[in-house]
Chain A
Amino acid sequence: MRLRTKLTLFNAISKLVIVVLFVLLVPVLIRNISSNYVDSKLIKQKNKLLQIVKSRGIETYIENGEGYGSYLPLKEEYISLEDVDPNYFSDTIKRGKRSFSEGDTLEYRILSHTFKVKNKNYLLEIGKSVDTLDETSIPLQNIAFQVLLGMILLTILADQFYSNYVLKPLRLIIKTKLVGQKFPNFSSYRKVQTTTTDFEYLDISIHKMVETIADKFQKEREFISNASHELMTPISILQSKIENMFEEEDISDELKGRLIEMQKILNRLKSITKTLLLISQIENEQFLKEDKVSVFDLLQDVYDEISIRLQDKNISYDIDVPNNWQFINVNKFLLFNLFFNLINNAIKYNNEGGYIKITATASHDKFIINITDNGIGITAEALPFIFNRFKKFRQSLQQDSFGLGLPIVKSIAAFHDIEIEVTSEKDKGSTFKLIFPATLIVVA
């Protein structure tokens, strides 16, 4: 879920919860407020009555020991005064029900107060109907709810609008700096306009990190390129010296044998260095992609180079590729090496009398070439690492590889935007699936 959606959702939900809570609380609040108001009115009336009793005497209300009572026609209020047991005491305000002689029972807020006049104990009750109060709270609740809901909708709209505006730089950073950037080739830096310092910081930090990564990559490439170039001259000198020594007349065959051993080891050093150099040249994009060659012809060229190895292990080799497929916008030398290395591996990690099949399918806008063998396969644990440099998982019988075959394949494939998928089962064989975009193959 995106940040803006999350913020809007949270805002709306939290506001809604608060409003619902408030609306639910409205009756309680109204009851509280009104009873406070009623209570203070009751107390005022009580004080007034006591004042009258004090100045004019209790006789104003009570004569001959008969209780006094009075109420408004609709019985919204009543007042009563009677003498009670001298030991009875009360001074409260609470809710209660009172019945009248007519048979009505009504709910009141009732003030009870006892006081003594001339050794006699009197109880004063003043009541005010509460029904009228309760009735007002429901429409109030409704109004409050509607007004608040309207306000919420307004604020949500405002929030939405503002967060949209304030998060725009972040969206821009994600869109232009992160989405669709091909590692490590990032496009050049363009500052995102923002007044939010956090985003400014984020923008600059991402830019710095990208620059650091790109720089490290560049340094690594340069290092490999320089190191392998620098190694070429000493290797060349050693090779020439060994070759010249080999031709000296007074050297014994035994010594010549040892020179050949040296030559073998030097050859190994040379192969590694040359391969590293090739990988760095591919990664530095020093090759052109302008060649056009028939798929079948290229595979045939590879076959010509490699047939001696197939014969040597008695491996059958089957090319089933449409005659009219043509590679375009490729580097022939590199593609040759890609297929050479894949097929060479299929031979190397195959058993005596095994098979290699090259099949092709077209699906949608992609062209797929599969290289399948029934050799020793790759274990599931090793599979994710086979394209790493200098990793050797499969023990070849010849003991002659140094773990750069698949890294070359990977570099060449990446250079041409060819995808590779590998499926393999130990002791059953492997399939290397090359997926070519429509820009690389045409059907003639």
Chain B
Amino acid sequence: MNVLIIEDEKALAQELEIFLTNYNYICDVCFDGVSASEKIAVNLYDFILIDLGLPDYEGLDLLKEAKKMDSEAACIILTARAEITDRIKGLDLGADDYLSKPFSLLELQSRMQAIIRRKFGVKNNIIELGGFLIDLTNRTISYYNDVVNTITKKEFDLIAYLILHKNRTLTRMQLSEHIWGSVVNNDYDSNYIDAHIKNIRKKLNAFAPPDWLETVRGLGYKIKINA
């Protein structure tokens, strides 16, 4: 997958590049709007990440150009200006998603995955883990013929996020940012993740021990999936 990163903050552009390269994307980086405009005109991309706060270019204009040149590319807007009108405008102009800074890199990756699934119409997205069948599309977990229906929405979100970032340790902060990201919270306590994990384990244990859901001591949690 080819990604064009348009971000004038070089340090951030660099981190985006490192992270996405790690996830096997092929990255092109632009620090300004003019060169980005040229790249969009010349190359074909699967993803274009656009920072709206460019010094030399109106970010939304780049979005328009991209849509005109190459309708295949999925555009994700990255911005520090979390204005509601910006968000609406961006999505109206055909942006596929919108992330306000500061965002977690994992969150970016999960949004890109969601777009890929949408674009390629992945119907059967079922993972098998220690006898459990986890259906990411229909959001269900079953053990052989039994459906585990005690799992709550939040608990499923946690499992799905860990599966998406399989074999990596996710910290409590990263997990709580994902499941409580929309709540403007007065506290920064992420210990409730432990309570959620405890509940998930208890519910799954009624069927079989979920050994694949690992606690990485002092760091966080991980779901191990052997390729």
Q: How far in angstroms is the closest Cβ of chain A from B28?
A: 18
**CA–CA, A287 to B185, complex, Å?**
18
| A408 with B103: CB separation less than 8 A | no
| A236 with B187: CB separation less than 8 A | no
A230 CB contacts on chain B under 8 angstroms = 80
Known A-B contacts A239-B104, A256-B219; A401 and B80 likewise in contact (beta carbons under 8 Å): no
A271 CB contacts on chain B under 8 angstroms = 185-188
B11 CB contacts on chain A under 8 angstroms = 237, 241
- B84, B103, B104, B177: the one within 8 Å of A286 (CB): B84
Q: Is A240 an interface residue (CB 8 A)?
A: yes
Q: Is A257 an interface residue (CB 8 A)?
A: yes
The A contact surface, by secondary structure, is helix
| B101 with A233: CB separation less than 8 A | yes
Q: Is B152 an interface residue (CB 8 A)?
A: yes
| B101 with A235: CB separation less than 8 A | yes
Known A-B contacts A243-B174, A287-B84, A348-B187; A312 and B103 likewise in contact (beta carbons under 8 Å): no
Which of B18, B19, B100, B168 has the most chain A CB within a 10 Å cutoff? B18
A312 CB contacts on chain B under 8 angstroms = 192, 195
- B9, B104, B219: the one within 8 Å of A237 (CB): B9
Residue of B nearest to A279 (CB): B184
| A340 with B219: CB separation less than 8 A | no
| A264 with B180: CB separation less than 8 A | no
B85 CB contacts on chain A under 8 angstroms = 286
- A267, A288, A308, A345: the one within 8 Å of B196 (CB): A308
Q: Is B106 an interface residue (CB 8 A)?
A: yes
| B16 with A337: CB separation less than 8 A | no
Q: Is A344 an interface residue (CB 8 A)?
A: yes
A208 CB contacts on chain B under 8 angstroms = none
Residue of B nearest to A232 (CB): B80
Q: Is B171 an interface residue (CB 8 A)?
A: yes
**CA–CA, A235 to B11, complex, Å?**
11
* Per-residue interface assignment for chain B, residues 167 to 183, with 1 indicating a CB less than 8 Å from any chain A CB and 0 otherwise: 01101111001001011
Known A-B contacts A237-B11, A286-B84, A287-B84; A401 and B187 likewise in contact (beta carbons under 8 Å): yes
* Per-residue interface assignment for chain B, residues 72 to 86, with 1 indicating a CB less than 8 Å from any chain A CB and 0 otherwise: 000000001111110
**CA–CA, A398 to B188, complex, Å?**
10
B101 CB contacts on chain A under 8 angstroms = 232-233, 235-236
**Interface of A toward B, CB cutoff 8 Å:** 229-230, 232-233, 235-241, 243-244, 246-247, 253, 256-257, 260, 263-264, 267-268, 270-271, 274-275, 277-278, 281, 286-288, 304-305, 308-309, 311-312, 333, 336-337, 340-341, 344-345, 348, 398, 400-402, 404-405, 408
- Some 5 contacts from A to B, beta carbons below 8 A apart, are A232-B101, A257-B219, A260-B218, A275-B186, A337-B184
